[in-house]
Every structure is written in structure tokens, then in C-alpha cells.
Amino acid sequence: MSRLFRSFLSIVLVAVTTLLVSCSSPTTAKIPTTYTPEKIESLQTQLAPIQKVRERMSELGNLIEDENWTGVRGLVRGPFGFLRQDMRYLSEKLLNKDQKKAQELANELFNDIVQIDSAAKERNYDVASAKFNEAIRNFDAFLDIIP
């Protein structure tokens, strides 16, 4: 008799568990749709080194104008060295709606800077100047996304 009772009890427990699991609603993580003041403050802190590089873009432009290729390569490889990492890190902290565009602009800017470095190595003023102008547009578009 006890064996029959245990089998019956097992079936009832399985049925109750199945019912409870199937009737429960999944928990969904709430995805923020706006920036909180704390989040904006955090983003602005992370933005500071990126803005410092942006301020030095005029220096890069002057070096290209003067065809100072050693200076161009030194600036690109030195003070601009962490730009990609900083922009990628900041992009990941943005809301989902802004992340993809920020990451695309960061990649485009990095590619522009790589091409400026390559043009400086080849002493190609036309390419360096054109890529500099694209870099400025991509940089400013990136900064426009940040709240």
C-alpha cells in the first residue's frame, strides 16, 4: 500500500510542479529608456579623456597642413593611443538605442586615424587631409550622441 501511495504522491507532485511552472510569468529585466542624472554624470566623467583628444584635433590638422609627418605619427600613436579603447568603453555604457551608432562612429573614427597615420608614413598630404576631415565629422557625430 505504501508503494502505491508513493507513486501516486510522485505523480501529483509532478503535476503540481508542471502547473506552477507553466502558469508563472517570466521575469524580464527592465531596460532603461532614459538617462538618469547619475548615469549622465558617469558618462561625462568617462567622456573627459575623449574630449581632450578632440581638443587636440586642431593640432593634428596643423601638423598635416605643415606636412610634419613625424609630428602627425607621434600625435596619432601617442596622445591618441587610447582613444579607441575609451570610445568603445563609453559606447558600451550608453542606452541600447545609442550603442550601435556610437560604436559605428568610434570604429569609423579609428579607421580614419589609422589611414591618417598610413598617409603620414607615405607622406601623402591629400589622403591625410581628406581623412582628417572625415575624422572630425565622425568625432563630432560621436560626441553628439553622448548626453
pLDDT at position 107: 96
Q: Which three cell numbers stand for residue 88?
A: 568603445
The residue behind cell 605619427 is 73
Q: What is the pLDDT along the chain (147 residues), one digit of tens a residue?
A: 566 656 665 665 566 666 566 666 665 556 677 889 999 999 999 999 999 999 999 999 999 999 999 999 999 999 898 999 999 999 999 999 999 999 999 999 999 999 999 999 999 999 999 999 999 999 999 999 999
Distances (CA, A) of 30 to 33, 35, 42: 9, 14, 20
Q: How far is CA 40 from the centre of its chain?
A: 15
DSSP string for residues in 11-43: HHHHHHHHHHHHHSPPP-PPPP-S--HHHHHHH
Contact indicator for 81, 89 with CB cutoff of 8 Å: no
Q: Say if domain 34-145 classifies as CATH 1.20.120.290.
A: yes
